[in-house]
Amino acid sequence: MLFLGTGIEQARLSALVEKGFKSAQAGVAVQKSETKYFGGETRVEATHVPQTIFIGFGKPGAPTGELAALAAHLSATPSVKWSKGLSPLAAGLPEGASVQTVFLPYSDATLFGLLVQGDNVVLAKQAGEVAVQALKSAASVQPDAANTAIAKAKFAAANAVDGRDGYISVLGPKVLEGADASASSVVAALEKVNASAVSSAANALLKSKPTFVVVGDVNLLPYADELGL
């Protein structure tokens, strides 16, 4: 059993853990099995909500810097306020629609995805097409664009550990896999990433079966193949 604490000295945390679990009996070790990802499709009818499409991919195994860099490359969130941003997603998005990248690393797998929302079905579909095309274009990302994405991913990782939630989400998986759990180790992993690695990560995702979820008007929202998946 592993414990990760924030805002507490290691000695104090160790003493509290020892006190709280001193009467606990050792159990049988849990057999660790390899994580598997299957993908699939779900359609949820809902009213009075943004028309929503989620395109997700699961990558079994310990988290890697390539997916973090890919998420940074596709992110439509601008680095400067009041700017539209230079992401391959940002330029093609219609007004009234948005796309957010999802990057959730765990100790034994990573969820990568694109959350698409629009004020209506037409906008959601258009934004979904832009999102899929941007992911496909990342399969041949240029070195300059990859370097920019890696720098953004480094900043995001370093900034995340300043808060409790980010600290746990970024370093927690490393603790669970028995790796070096420090902000510097996260940044060091990203320094090993290059354009070829980012392109390979995008290619691998595109070859896998996605998790495709729509929420809203299920009769009109597109299916995965209609977006080019």
What is the tens place of the pLDDT at every residue in 65-110?
899 999 999 998 776 665 666 678 887 889 999 999 999 887 778 8
Question: For 109-131, what is the mean pLDDT?
Answer: 95
Q: Which residue has the higher pLDDT, 63 or 182?
A: 63
Question: For 212-220, what is the mean pLDDT?
Answer: 97
Nearest Cα to 190, choosing from 156, 162, 154?
154
State the pLDDT confidence band at 19, using cuts at 50, 70 and 90. Answer: confident
Answer yes or no: are the C-beta atoms of 171 and 181 closer than 8 Å.
yes
Count of domains observed in the chain = 1
Question: For 158-185, what is the mean pLDDT?
Answer: 59
Rounded CA-CA distance 95/109 in Å is 34
Residue 110 lies in a domain: yes
Residue 201 lies in a domain: yes
Residue 46 lies in a domain: yes
Q: Which residue has the tokens 């606990």?
A: 24
Residue 195 lies in a domain: yes
In terms of Cβ atoms closer than 10 Å to its own Cβ (0-12, 13-18, 19+), residue 32 is exposed
Q: Which residue has the higher pLDDT, 49 or 105?
A: 49
Residue 178 lies in a domain: yes
Residue 82 lies in a domain: yes
Residue 70 lies in a domain: yes
Quote the domain boundaries for residue 89: 35-227
What CATH number did the domain enclosing 67 receive? Answer: 3.30.830.10
Answer yes or no: are the C-beta atoms of 74 and 153 closer than 8 Å.
no
Q: What is the pLDDT of residue 169?
A: 58
The model carries a pTM of: 0.78
Residue 103 lies in a domain: yes
State the pLDDT confidence band at 204, using cuts at 50, 70 and 90. Answer: very high
